[in-house]
Amino acid sequence: MSKTFIIDADAVEKGKTRPISVGEHKLLVCNSGGSYYVIANQCSHAQARLTGGKLRGHKIFCPLHSAPFDMRDGSALGPPATAPICAYSTTVEDGKVFAELTEGQ
Ligand code: FES
């Protein structure tokens, strides 16, 4: 596991998501009320991209069937998803967003 620069924090507006690829990782950076989360950009239900999913606190709602996920740990919080998504430990330093990316996820 290593801390990887993902994106400048000001490139993701409050309440918005931004897809980005870092190496083999297809990521989604989320800015929920000024808190940043980096998650895998793929729903566990029918593999839809989570880009543009609505953000509420630490939750993101899949844009396809509205399953909610906890962006802190990736857990599925309601139907139709039952499996978690990947969520990465995220920090912001000097206006830059970093995530602890894990191999193979
Ligand atoms: S693809 Fe995300 S809830 Fe169905």
Indicate if ligand 1 lies below 6 Å from the C-beta of 46. Answer: yes
Cα–Cα distance, 25 to 14 (Å, whole number)? 23
pLDDT digits (tens, 9 = 90+) for 20-41: 999 999 999 999 999 999 999 9
Indicate if ligand 1 lies below 6 Å from the C-beta of 65. Answer: yes
Cα of 93 to ligand 1 centre, how many Å? 32
pTM (predicted TM-score): 0.95
CB atoms within 10 A of CB 93: 10
pLDDT band at 2 (very low <50, low <70, confident <90, very high): confident
Right CATH for 2-101 from 2.102.10.10, 2.60.40.10, 3.40.640.10, 3.40.50.300: 2.102.10.10
CB atoms within 10 A of CB 77: 14
Instruction: Locate the ligand 1 atom nearest the alpha carbon of residue 46 and give its number.
Output: 1
Spans of all domains in the chain: 2-101
Indicate if ligand 1 lies below 6 Å from the C-beta of 62. Answer: yes
Tokens encoding 70: 């906890």
Sign of CA dihedral 15, 90, 79, 46: positive
